[in-house]
Amino acid sequence: MTEATITAQAVKELRDRTGAGMMDAKKALVEAGGDSEAAIKLLRERGAAKAAKKEGRATKEGIIYSYIHPGDKLGVLIEINCETDFVARTEEFRAFAKELAMQVAAASPLVVEPTELPESLMESEREVYRVQAQNEGKPEHVVEKIVEGRIKKYQQETCLILQPYIKDQDRSVSDLINHTIAKLGENISVRRFARFRLGENGQP
């Protein structure tokens, strides 16, 4: 398939779904033979590759973004870092910060990434899942596999970067971060967040 056979509507739809640039979207559609799902996969892989090259670069700038959910009973503060003050001040970076703040408000993560989950909590969860599997009559040789599978699911529910993105369940928050790194050309990291709900003590 050539660029001439790719319609403007197909390019627009792909851009709307991925946020990719026009030429990147068109090129991905050509390579994918017009298959939009395959094109999305290509764009994600390239975004992740670009992001990987930027890992390790210092993120000493950024913003603390505040989001108050309509009704004024739920709010989020989140610190997102980047490499330069120039990028931190862009509308694209602020829009990205808002997306993450809304994610925290809606999905109630406990931590940014799995390494922040206390080992004592993880051991407690493992024990609960182990007992559950045994009570379900699972053979002993598969119990540990079941436990690790449920631990992985628990991490996906409680760690911000592993959660499904609320606006596209087929993507993770990590995918969103990598896409934004590729788009803005700088390393980006989420340092911390706090979620407040009226009448609750601390984060749920």
User: Which residue type occupies 132?
Assistant: Q
Summarised one tens digit per residue, pLDDT across range 6-43 is 888 888 887 767 666 677 778 888 888 888 888 877 77
Length of the chain counted residue by residue: 204
61, 87 contact by CB (below 8 A): yes
Query: Topology of domain 118-157, per CATH?
Result: GTP Cyclohydrolase I; Chain A, domain 1 (1.10.286)
Could you please state the CATH topology (level 3) that the domain comprising 61-113+159-197 is classified under.
Tetrahydropterin Synthase; Chain A (3.30.479)
Looking at the chain, the whole-number percentage of residues with pLDDT higher than 90 is 51
Structure confidence at residue 204 as a pLDDT band (50, 70, 90): very low
Average predicted confidence (pLDDT) for the chain: 86
Taking Cα atoms as reference points, which of 163, 191, 193, 188 lies closest to residue 178?
188
Q: Write the pLDDT tens digit of every residue in 129-148.
A: 989 998 888 888 888 899 99
Q: What is the mean pLDDT of residues 187-204?
A: 83
Q: Give start-end residues of each CATH 3.30.479.20 domain in the chain.
A: 61-113+159-197
CATH number of 3-54: 1.10.8.10
- Pick the closest to residue 113 from 193, 201, 195, 202 (CA basis): 193
- Delimit the CATH 1.10.8.10 region(s) of the chain: 3-54
Q: Comparing C-alpha atoms, which of 192, 193, 164, 159 is closest to residue 176?
A: 164
Is-contact 162 187, C-beta < 8 A? no
Whether the CB-CB separation of 181 and 54 falls below 8 Å is answered with yes
Q: In the chain, list all ranges with CATH 1.10.286.20.
A: 118-157
Dihedral sign computed on CA atoms, order 153, 151, 141, 138: negative
